[in-house]
Amino acid sequence: MLKGLVQTAPVDNIAEYFTEVGRVCASAKVTDAEGRSLSLPSGFHWVAERSRAAQQNTNKLILIGNGGSAAIASHQAIEFLKNGGIRALALNDGASLTALANDFGYQNVFAEQLRMLGRKGDVLIAISSSGQSTNILKAVETARAQEISVVTFTGFRPDNLLRSLGDVNFYVDSDQYGFVEIAHHVLIQSILDLNVIPNRP
């Protein structure tokens, strides 16, 4: 009945697509604040341990991102809260963003929220495909001033600005938004599934 209306991609293209998704996720590179390489399991463990420590000390996990990265931040905040038992929130409420953008400029929408809501011992997960977003970079600067731990997720260029600013930095080697965002989502979910949930009290 739908013959002629439904178009399908060649099987080879589908296989290549999923092969590339797998490559991008599995080849993620992790570095510390000094740029030294860490293994992926070590990076996962660091984020999980710091998140658990925040929970135990009445602190919280804060996630930020723009566009697709904001959607990942929202999704993972509820995952960590509901399934991981970690206090978590994403700073992307529409009214808050528009109010703060109106008063302070969009480049400060996350930094201002961190200034008001963040405190020493919190953990910030900063997600940016390009690693060049001014509002994310300014948020990390504010987090540092407040002694908030920082985890970054980036892609595109290996020398992007955000990649060198976290205590732990996850970088995925792709210049395609779709692949980078899928990989960021998978990596954060993996931390939860492999390191947080199994060790939940």
- Dump pLDDT digits (tens) for 170-201: 999 999 999 999 999 999 999 999 999 998 88
Q: What is the pLDDT of residues 93-149, one digit of tens each?
A: 999 999 999 999 999 999 999 999 999 999 999 999 999 999 999 999 999 999 999
> Is a pLDDT exceeding 70 seen at residue 4?
no
- pLDDT of amino acid 11: 54
Asked, for residue 20, whether it belongs to a domain, the answer is no
Asked, for residue 152, whether it belongs to a domain, the answer is yes
Q: Which domain holds residue 175?
A: 62-199
Asked, for residue 100, whether it belongs to a domain, the answer is yes
The CATH number of the domain holding residue 117 is 3.40.50.10490
Asked, for residue 41, whether it belongs to a domain, the answer is no
Domain count, the chain: 1
Asked, for residue 174, whether it belongs to a domain, the answer is yes
Asked, for residue 5, whether it belongs to a domain, the answer is no
> Is a pLDDT exceeding 90 seen at residue 67?
yes
- pLDDT of amino acid 10: 60
Mean pLDDT of the chain: 94
Asked, for residue 26, whether it belongs to a domain, the answer is no
- pLDDT of amino acid 7: 53
Predicted structure pTM score: 0.93
**What residues does 90 pair with on adjacent strands?**
63
Helices (H), 83-124: 94-104, 109-117
- pLDDT of amino acid 91: 98
- pLDDT of amino acid 2: 45
Q: How far is CA 135 from CA 41, 61, 91, 104, in A?
A: 29, 18, 12, 11
Q: Residue 168 gets which letter from DSSP?
A: E
- Helix, coil or strand: residue 1: coil
**In angstroms, rounded to a whole number, what is the distance separating the alpha carbons of residues 151 and 136?**
12
Asked, for residue 39, whether it belongs to a domain, the answer is no
